[in-house]
Chain A
Amino acid sequence: MNRINQKLQEEQKLLSIYFTAGYPKLEDTVTVIEELEKAGVDMIEIGLPFSDPLADGPTIQESSTAALKNGMTTSKLFEQLKDIRKRVSIPLIIMGYFNPVLQYGVEAFCKKCEELGIDGLILPDLPLDVYLEEYEAIFKAHGLINVFLITPQTSEARIRQIDAASEGFIYMVSSASTTGAKSGFGNEQTEYFERIDGLKLKNPQVVGFGISNNETFTAATSRAKGAIIGSAFIKHLTTHGTTEIDSFVKGIR
């Protein structure tokens, strides 16, 4: 069974952390992954940096620019992850934009992910219809779970389509925003979390965007299976480098 599915079956609420590969230093990627696992995180999203990250706010944009400047490339990331399965057993997802994957070759990219022990992909600008028509078979052949996003504006009909096409979890974007744009939740989020919970989807939901501390983690996971932290952790890396990751994680839950 895919490590993501295995993890989702566990009782507790999941904490997933996003970070940009090659940030703050090019060779930090593996250290960050190991430290996050040690600190008790449940899942990691490894960000493949992109020059034009449309869905990201300034924090992740800047980390991507820095990582690219540091020399991060798709091949470099794969090289860094060469022995990652000898080091950690936590579910690993690569998150990035579609163009770098397209240029590497979708099939070649998926094959490489399988070899390295990557469990899934999140490619926000690879739309559902294109995935189903052109790429689903390739992802599946390499044992990769593709994760789709939904937002407060996503219609119920579309959520049901996305649920049908998903085999891991649904990435629930907490509010209409780019990453790091908003912090904290209001009534709108509470209603949204309740509405989605009420749909009784086949896939569990993991909430992302706007989660930065214990309070927002608890609120997000009151209905959903887990929550994802991105910008807040990038800020931690910016100030502390790869140190004190343990205390960052302990501060969340």
Chain B
Amino acid sequence: MKYHVDDRGYYGDFGGAFIPEMLYPNVEELRQNYLKLMYQDDFQKEFHQLLKDYVGRPSPLYFANRLSEKYNCKVYLKREDLNHTGAHKVNNTIGQILMAKKLGKKRIIAETGAGQHGVATATVCALMGIDCVVYMGEIDIARQAPNVARMKMLGATVKPALSGSRTLKDATNEAIRDWINNPVDTHYIIGSAIGPHPYPDMVTRFQSVISEEIKWQLKEKEGRELPDYVVACIGGGSNAAGTYYHFLDEKEVGIIAVEAAGKGVNSGESAATSKLGKEGIIHGCKTLLMQTKDGQITEPYSISAGLDYPGVGPLHSHLYKSGRGEFYSATDDEAMEAGLELTQLEGIIPAIETSHALALFKYKTFKPDDVVVISLSGRGDKDLQTYIDYFKL
């Protein structure tokens, strides 16, 4: 079984580029050039220099002592929360802003849910002096206010998406419409491993620095490159894709994904796509998505803005369908408790997205010598208000 993208832009049955003709020139330009450009020496040099000096990579691989004790296995946390801007998202935006410059683009658009990708995009645009417009659902603007303020301070224009559920899906629709209306000078920095080919593969490659580092860091700490499990939460799937990337073909490494169950998988208010989704097309990509039997996309729900998406990236649909990945889902309550637990056991306040990955211990028991690497995709500063309200702190 092959887990990487094929020449046609598919992961097994999933992927492709189901886009209206208006987007074809831009997406095709990217498809023809992305690999060539991103592996040029000067691109790689600038990319890695920025990851080191600006983002602060490598991010630590931290052995979580008390968490390990509690769950009787060896838990390592890949500290993407310590990146500049507070999440893994910046790995991708650094890569894509360099790509946009190579392609001669003068204006950047992005969608955002939690606001982490919006902040990471606004940040690299400030860094490069490029105009930036971020689309964000009206609901998310309200629940992630600190990130909205950061984007504005960074000079980005934040435009509210007012249609549908007014969350990530709708912000993505608006960004795509913007791109249709501005086809020449604009690059769309998609924030997850979603969208038409080549986006899922491009985003995954930029995020793959996560698993590249895990390998040598684990070698230093455990004397072996391969963990027994890699774990990540899945919104669209970019931190997961980066965390899994270099282990996809290593059969002995278990791949674990945790989705947002919202108020429960069968509550009607959930974002557990692998459980609730069917093959279909969303945002230019054939993948698993939550939809009615008539093919209308349904509104997802999660307490976490970054996981509140009715689809998953095509790589993850393939990992699910092929059985390569183990998929779990955590409810709002389980995630919030897991977030508080990490805070009190390790002194790390995680993003609520990340808390979903940490809730895995409610569902899976590991062996004492299992090495379990969890992607700590982001920090919880942006979520303080939600934590405070939830726990009545």
Contacts and interface: CB of A to CB of B under 8 A. Distances in A.
B291 A103 contact: yes
Contact of A52 (B17, B18, B164, B182): B164
B282 A52 contact: yes
A61 interface: yes
Given A54-B173, A124-B21, A127-B17, A61 B181 contact: no
Task: Name A's interface SS.
Answer: loop
Interface size class of B (residues with CB under 8 A): 20 to 34
Interface in B281-297: 281-284, 291, 293-297
B24 A102 contact: no
Nearest to A155: B25
Contacts of B283: 54
A101 B295 CA distance: 8
Contact of A74 (B163, B180, B294): B294
A150 interface: yes
Nearest to B183: A176
Given A51-B164, A52-B164, A99-B295, A154 B177 contact: no
Given A98-B281, A102-B281, A177-B181, A52 B297 contact: yes
Interface residues of A, number: 38
B132 interface: no
A176 B181 contact: yes
A54 B16 CA distance: 17
A126 B20 CA distance: 7
Contacts of A177: 22, 180-181
Given A61-B163, A99-B295, A125-B284, A181 B22 contact: no
Contacts, number: 101
Interface string A73-106: 1110000000000000000000001111111100
B19 interface: yes
Interface in A173-192: 173, 176-178, 181
Given A52-B282, A74-B294, A100-B294, A154 B24 contact: yes
A150 B294 contact: no
Contact of B295 (A102, A124, A148): A102
Contacts of A68: 296
A158 interface: yes
A98 B18 contact: yes
Contacts of B16: 130
Contacts of B297: 51-52, 99
A88 to B, nearest CB: 26
Interface of B: 16-22, 24-25, 163-164, 169, 173, 176-177, 180-184, 278, 280-284, 291, 293-298
